[in-house]
DNA sequence: GTCTATAACCTGATAGAC
DNA sequence: GTCTATCAGGTTATAGAC
C-alpha cells in the first residue's frame, strides 16, 4: 500500500480523481475539486491526462472492473458447489464494498447517464448468462429463469450499499453499526440463497 | 391523464423536467435540455420557477414521495399478515417501477450527492424501524435484526430496476422481456420472503 | 515538471421587445 | 405570457514563465 508520501504526481492525481469522481459523479465534479484534493494545481491534470473526460475514463474503467470483476473467478470455478459459490460471492462483494461503499451507485449511475459508452465493455453479460454458476443454477432449478436467482443473490449483497446514503441520512443505521450489519450478511446470504433454491 | 395537447405551460415544463432530471440527474441536466424537451424556451423556466434549483426541488420532492410513499399504507396496515404484506409490497413496488424504472437510481444518487439536503425529509426511517410490518417481523424472528429482512425484500423488488441500464447495455435482457421478468417477480417475491422467514 | 494567468467556452439567469 | 438577445459567472483547457 503506497502512501501519498512517495506517490508520483500522476498517481496523486489518479487517487484524487478516484475519490472525487466516485463521491460526486462525473457531471458534478469540477476539475478544480480534483486539483485541490490532490494538493496540486489545475494545469497538471491536463498535462498528465489531456482532459477531464480522459481522466474519468481511466477511473471508470477501473471501477467497472472492480464491480463486475470481483466475482468473475468465483462464478467460473468448476470445483465448487452451487451453495459454496453463493456464499463466496456474498463474502467477496461485501468484503470489497465495505472498503468501497459508494462503488455500485457510482458505476450504475454513470452507466445510466451514458449507456452507449459501455454496452460491450461490460462482461456482466457473461457472468449473468454464460457462467458456470448460472449453469449450476439451471441444473438445480430448470423451472425458473436463473436471472431471478442471480438478481436475488446480487441484490442481497449489493443493495444495502446502494441504500447506505439513505440509511445514514435517515439515521436508520450508521457508521460502525452499518458495517457490522453487512458483515453479518457475509454468512447469512449463503443460508438465504439455499432457502431460495428450495422455495 | 392529461396529455400535452391541453397541458398548461407550467405543466409542460414540469413534465419535461421530470423526464430530463430523472434520466440524467441534477448536475448533468442543462436548463436548455428541459426547455427543448418541453418545446418552450429557456426564459420561461425562470419565469415560472425562478431557478433550476427550485424546479429540481419540486421534482425531487415528488419523486421521494413516490419512492418511499408507495408502501407506506401497506406496512402500517394492521389487518394483514406478515406474508400478505410482503407480497403486497413487492406488487406495489414493481407495478409502480415498471412505469418509472429510473426512479430508484435517480433518487438514491441525488441523496448521495446531497445527503444533508434530506435527512429528516425522508420517512424511510419510520418504515424501516417503526412500522407495523417491522414489528411483525420481530415477533416472528426475534433472533435476527429485522433490517436484514427489510433489505432483502426491498432489494428483491427494487434492485432489478437499479440494474436495468446494465442489463440493457450488456444485452442480458431488454425491453419487453425485462418487463415480463419483473412481472413474474410480483408473485415470486412473496414466496421467497416466506422462505427467508423460515431460514 | 510545475506553476500563475488567461483564453475559450458553457450555463443559469435576466432585460426588454412584443 | 412568451420570445430573442445578452449578461455575469463559472469551468475546462492552454500559454508561457520558471
Do residue A111 and residue B166 have CB atoms under 8 angstroms apart? yes
- Residues in B closer than 8 angstroms to A159, CB to CB, are 151, 154-155, 158-159, 162
Average pLDDT over every residue of A43-49: 98
Q: Pick one of 1.10.287.3610, 1.10.10.60, 3.30.70.980, 3.40.50.1370 as the CATH number of B1-59.
A: 1.10.10.60
Write out the residue limits of the CATH 1.10.357 domain(s) in chain A: 60-198
Any idea which nucleotide's C1' is nearest the CA of B46?
C13
Helix (H, G, I), strand (E, B) or coil at A117: helix
Domain A60-198 CATH class label: mainly alpha
Decide if pLDDT at A3 tops 60: no
Residue of A155, A183, A194 for testing the chain B interface, max B β-carbons within 10 Å: A155
Q: Which nucleotides of C are covered by protein (CB under 7 A)?
A: 1-5, 10-16
For residue B116, the model assigns a pLDDT of 82
For CATH 1.10.10.60, list the domain ranges present in chain A: 1-50
Instruction: Catalogue the long-range contacts made by A9-15 (C-beta closer than 8 Å, 24 or more residues apart).
Output: A9/A40, A9/A44, A9/A48, A10/A48, A12/A38, A12/A39, A12/A40, A13/A38, A13/A40, A13/A44, A13/A45, A13/A48, A13/A49, A13/A55, A14/A55, A14/A58, A14/A59
Distance from CA of A184 to the nearest CA of B (A): 9
| Cα–Cα distance measured from residue B91 to residue B73, given in angstroms and rounded to the nearest whole number | 13
Mean pLDDT value across chain A: 95
pLDDT 10s digits, B9-65: 999 999 999 999 999 999 999 999 999 999 999 999 999 999 999 999 999 999 999
Nucleotides of D under 7 A from a protein CB: 1-6, 10-16
Q: Which of A173, A181, A191 sits opposite B199 (nearest CB)?
A: A191
pLDDT in tens, B51-103: 999 999 999 999 999 999 999 999 999 999 999 999 999 999 999 999 999 99
Per residue, what are the HEC states of A54-94?
HHHHHHHHHHHHHHHHCCHHHHCCCCCCHHHHHHHHHHHHH
**B46 CB contact with strand D at below 7 Å:** no
**Could you give the residue range(s) of every CATH 1.10.357 domain in chain B?**
70-198
Asked if the A1-50 domain carries CATH number 1.10.10.10, the reply is no
| pLDDT at residue A118 in the model | 79
C-alpha dist (Å) from residue B127 to A158, B76, B111, B122, B132: 20, 8, 18, 10, 8
Contacting residues for A176 by C-beta, under 8 A, at least 6 apart? none
Domain covering B70-198 in this structure, CATH number: 1.10.357
Amino acid at each position: 500500500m503506497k502512501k501519498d508520501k512517495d506517490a508520483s504526481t500522476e498517481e496523486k492525481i489518479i487517487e484524487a480523481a478516484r475519490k472525487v469522481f466516485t463521491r460526486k459523479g462525473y457531471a458534478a465534479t469540477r476539475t478544480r475539486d480534483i486539483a485541490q484534493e490532490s494538493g496540486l494545481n489545475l494545469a497538471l491534470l491536463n498535462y498528465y491526462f489531456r482532459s477531464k473526460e480522459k481522466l474519468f475514463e481511466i477511473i471508470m474503467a477501473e471501477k467497472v472492473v472492480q464491480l463486475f470483476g470481483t466475482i468473475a473467478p468465483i462464478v467460473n470455478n468448476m470445483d465448487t458447489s452451487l451453495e459454496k459459490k453463493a456464499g463466496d460471492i456474498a463474502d467477496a462483494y461485501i468484503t470489497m464494498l465495505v472498503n468501497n461503499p459508494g462503488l455500485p451507485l457510482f458505476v450504475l449511475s454513470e452507466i445510466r447517464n451514458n449507456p452507449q459508452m459501455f454496452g460491450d465493455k461490460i462482461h456482466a453479460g457473461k457472468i449473468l448468462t454464460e457462467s458456470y454458476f448460472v449453469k449450476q443454477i439451471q441444473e438445480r432449478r430448470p423451472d425458473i429463469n436463473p436471472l431471478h436467482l442471480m438478481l436475488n443473490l446480487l441484490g442481497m449483497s449489493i443493495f444495502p450499499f446502494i441504500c447506505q446514503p439513505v440509511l445514514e441520512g435517515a439515521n436508520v443505521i450508521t457508521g460502525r453499526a452499518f458495517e457490522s450489519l453487512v458483515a453479518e450478511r457475509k454468512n447469512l446470504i449463503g443460508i438465504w440463497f439455499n432457502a431460495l433454491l428450495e422455495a
